[in-house]
Structure 1
Amino acid sequence: MYKTIITPRVSETDAVGHINNTTLPVWFEAGRNPLFELFTPDHDFANWKMVIVKTTLEFTKQVYFGKDAEVHTWIERLGNSSLELYEELYQEGRLCAKNRAVYVNFNIEKQHSEPIPDEIRAELNKHLRDIDEKQLTDSE
């Protein structure tokens, strides 16, 4: 699992006093930075590999300004050219949101998907969500 600490900004707070619902997808994306680094180490958008094709966000608790949040990112499923991520957002030890995102390893120049290279696959396998974690968080 990858862990990323997020410090909420005042500008992310909405009129009802909690972090706006449009902010959480951006925070989940910040938790994917280690994955982006794996696929495109030079950060060159001309060679960018990870293209998002689906995301599903579920809010479970409100998130507030003034308290750090933590994004947990696992690999849920690893296909030939795609991967599904399972992500959770915690604040003060409370599960506040769950997200799933599907990415494809994509060649922008050729406009088609490509198999995930073996060396990247080996690193991603280290972050697979195991059955015990699935049972614990899926029941919450």
Structure 2
Amino acid sequence: MFRSIIRPRVSETDGAGHINNTTVPVWFEAGREGIFKIFNPNLSFTAWRSVIVSLSVDYIHQMYLGKDVEVRTWIQRIGNKSFVIYEEIHQGGILCAKGTATYVNFNPEKQISEPIPESIRNELEKHLFEST
């Protein structure tokens, strides 16, 4: 699992006084940096191979300005060419949002998805989500 701490900003708070729903996918993406580095250690866009093809978010509890949030990121499933990420956001010990994102291993030169290399697969497996 990867853990990231984010301090909510005023600009992420909406008129209702809570963190805006459009902020959650951005925070989830921030929590994926460790996974991106497995595919591309220096995060060079010229070598970028992880392309998102699906995103799902469940909003469970409101979040507010003034308290840090923790993004928790796991690998839920690894396929031949794709993998699914499972993510959660917690604030004050409360699960506030959860979601999944599906990515493919993409070759930008050929514009096709390709099998995930075994070395990358082995690293992804170290972060598999185990449901209780």
Shorter-chain TM-score: which interval?
over 0.9
2:73 alignment counterpart: 73
Q: Pairwise CA RMSD of aligned residues?
A: 0.8
Q: How many residues get paired?
A: 132
- Unaligned runs of 5+ residues in structure 1 are 133-140
Aligned to 1:131, the other structure's residue is in SS state coil
TM-score by length of 1: 0.91
Distance 1:90 1:15, change over 3 A: same
Alpha-carbon distance in structure 2 between the residues aligned to 1:8 and 1:109 = 37
SS in 1 for 2:66: coil
Percent of residue pairs identical: 58
Distance 1:57 1:109 in 2: 31
Displacement over 2 Å in runs of 4+: none
**CA distance in structure 1 between the partners assigned to 2:93 and 2:75 by the alignment:** 21
- 1:26 maps to 26
Q: Secondary structure at the match of 1:97?
A: strand
Q: Which runs of 5+ in 2 are unaligned?
A: none
Give, in angstroms, the shift of residue 42 of structure 1. 2.5
Offset at 1:131? 3.5
Equivalent position SS for 2:5? strand
| Counterpart code for 1:104 | V
